[in-house]
Amino acid sequence: MVEPIANQIEQGTLVYDISTNKVGEYRGKAGPYAMLRPLGGGREWEAAPEAVRPATPQERLIASVKAANSRSWVGNSVPYDITTPPSPIPDCQACTDLAVLRYEARARNDGTAETDANVLLRRHQHRDHEIRHRRVFRFVPYAIVQDPSAEPEYEARCVSGDDTDCDATSGPYGNPADVEEWQRKHTQETRHTRYRRSFADYAELEPQPQN
């Protein structure tokens, strides 16, 4: 029944449709179905009431970022100041919600989600508060160095096979010797001899002193 959802969720609330793995705006009911609309507009879709639940803050953030990125900003770009995180406007619920999402992302060390929240907050303030953020350009020379606090990762994938690759993977290791040992064992078991090896590490850009 859609009625329990209508009683619990107000029109305009962002909900998550489990059956489609999408976040939409709850628009009401149509017969036995809940009507949902994509963020940013678009064609509504019908969802079974038992598959609909309120969206989590993380799901709302991801959906909002996707909706913002899908719009065309050509000719309507905003000169954001990316050097300073935006501050929420007092008594604005949208600013507060995005600031809370940013705080939660920062608390769990999710830099991507924190950046997404800042982008949405700047765009909201530009659109609804007519705040123009100044872009500041500074030329600072940087040196790229390996982050000593993060362990590099080594991995191998078997690309042997007649028609298709084997695709067996060693999984990430912090020591290349462990990957080589996995390769030897895999070759003994399968007679496969061709591998694609990969290496990943973390790098930091360190500003260099200027003369």
For residue range 2-56, list pLDDT tens digits in order: 455 445 778 888 888 988 888 888 888 877 888 888 876 777 888 888 888 988 8
The pLDDT score that the predictor gives to residue 79 is 46
Determine the structural domain holding residue 167 and report its residue range: 153-198
The pLDDT score that the predictor gives to residue 189 is 93
Q: What pLDDT band is residue 211 in, cutting at 50, 70 and 90?
A: low
Do the strands 45-47 and 22-30 form a parallel or antiparallel pair, or are they unpaired? unpaired
What average pLDDT score do residues 114-135 get? 76
Using CB atoms within 10 A of its CB, is residue 101 exposed (0-12), middle (13-18) or buried (19+)? Answer: buried
Using CB atoms within 10 A of its CB, is residue 168 exposed (0-12), middle (13-18) or buried (19+)? Answer: middle
Distance, CA of 59 to CA of 62 (rounded, Å): 5
Instruction: Give me the number of domains the chain comprises.
Output: 3
Question: Which residue, 112, 128, 144, sits at the end of a domain?
Answer: 128
Backbone φ/ψ region at 184: left (φ over 0), alpha (ψ -120 to 50), beta: alpha
Looking at the fold, whether 94 and 64 belong to one and the same domain comes out as yes
Residue 49 CB contacts under 8 Å (≥ 6 apart), including other chains: 1, 2, 4, 5, 32, 33, 34
What average pLDDT score do residues 61-79 get? 57
Looking at the fold, whether 39 and 80 belong to one and the same domain comes out as no
Distance, CA of 55 to CA of 63 (rounded, Å): 10
Within a domain: residue 170?
yes
What average pLDDT score do residues 65-93 get? 62
- Provide φ and ψ at 4, rounded to 5°: -60, -35
Distance, CA of 201 to CA of 211 (rounded, Å): 31
Looking at the fold, whether 43 and 88 belong to one and the same domain comes out as no
Within a domain: residue 108?
yes
* No. of helices (H) and no. of strands (E), the chain: 5, 9
Distance, CA of 11 to CA of 35 (rounded, Å): 10
With contact defined as beta carbons under 8 Å apart, do 31 and 1 qualify? no
For residue range 94-117, list pLDDT tens digits in order: 888 888 888 888 888 887 788 888
Looking at the fold, whether 51 and 64 belong to one and the same domain comes out as no
Looking at the fold, whether 16 and 43 belong to one and the same domain comes out as yes
Q: What pLDDT band is residue 59 in, cutting at 50, 70 and 90?
A: confident
Q: What pLDDT band is residue 77 in, cutting at 50, 70 and 90?
A: very low
